């Protein structure tokens, strides 16, 4: 009985098959490299706007937390505001009307040899060519009543600070570059702050509510 006959088994690719395989792999690598480099170019092109937006969000969250901390008891008694408009004399000898608040536990931005000083009286202001600065000094300092507050730069990218007041009569917001004076001439506490961030041709605005200053303000 004759054994069954099978065809000869191929042990290797032909030269034509190898050339086709190499050509396909080459096309695949070219396409992959083109995709990777195009994504890298797109990522790099959008890098600055993304970093700028991250910075804006980080500064806004930080200030929102600090203002909320200032409104906590015992600083803010029931029915009173933790934010007081006051005329402040800066280190140049000039005075300006600013919104003052107290951070009883201090803040990580308050430069001090050891831990940040508690009972810090603070205010926010915008300086040309400097940005948003935090004015502060502690009640625990010996010359608290005589010396002007220190100034710590929070971010150099804030170019404007506006105070916003809600008008319940006309149901609209009024934005002012300075604190508003009422009919009696006294400075009024705003309901929120508006910050303008600028970097090259990028501009962003954020709004931070003033905790406790909600009378007549719509909830949204």
- The whole-angstrom separation of Cα 179 and Cα 192 is 11
User: Which pair of structure tokens corresponds to residue 42?
Assistant: 């797109």
pLDDT tens digit sequence for 28-87: 555 555 544 444 444 456 678 888 999 999 999 999 999 999 988 765 554 567 899 999
137 touches 147 (CB < 8 A): yes
Task: Kindly report the pTM of this predicted structure.
Answer: 0.73
| Per-residue pLDDT tens digits for 131-180 | 999 999 888 888 888 888 989 999 999 999 999 999 998 899 999 999 99
Residues whose CB is less than 8 angstroms from the CB of residue 164 and which lie 6 or more positions away in sequence, other chains included: 173, 174, 175, 176, 190, 191, 192, 193, 194, 207
Whole-number Cα distances in Å, 89 to 104, 121, 147: 22, 13, 9
For residue 170, give Cα distances in angstroms to 107, 162, 189, 217: 38, 20, 19, 12
> For 23-36, what is each residue's pLDDT tens digit?
666 555 555 555 44
């Amino acid at each position: 009985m004759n054994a069954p006959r099978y065809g000869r088994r191929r042990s290797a690719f032909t030269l034509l098959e190898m050339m086709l395989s190499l050509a396909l792999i080459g096309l695949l690598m070219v396409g992959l490299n083109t995709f990777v480099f195009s994504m890298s170019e797109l990522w790099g092109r959008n890098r600055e706007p993304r970093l700028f937006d991250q910075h804006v969000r980080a500064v806004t969250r930080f200030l929102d937390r600090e203002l909320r901390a200032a409104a906590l008891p015992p600083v803010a008694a029931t029915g009173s505001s933790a934010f007081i408009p006051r005329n402040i004399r800066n280190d140049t000898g000039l005075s300006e009307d600013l919104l003052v608040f107290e951070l009883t536990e201090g803040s990580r931005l308050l430069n001090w040899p050891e831990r940040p000083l508690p009972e810090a009286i603070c205010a926010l202001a915008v300086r040309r060519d400097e940005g948003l600065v935090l004015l502060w000094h502690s009640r625990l300092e010996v010359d608290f009543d005589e010396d002007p507050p220190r100034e710590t730069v929070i971010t150099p990218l804030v170019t404007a600070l506006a105070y916003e007041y809600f008008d319940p009569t006309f149901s609209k917001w009024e934005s002012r570059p300075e604190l508003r004076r009422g009919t009696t001439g006294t400075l009024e506490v705003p309901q929120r702050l508006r910050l303008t961030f600028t970097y090259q041709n990028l501009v962003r605005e954020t709004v931070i509510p003033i905790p406790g200053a909600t009378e007549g303000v719509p909830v949204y």
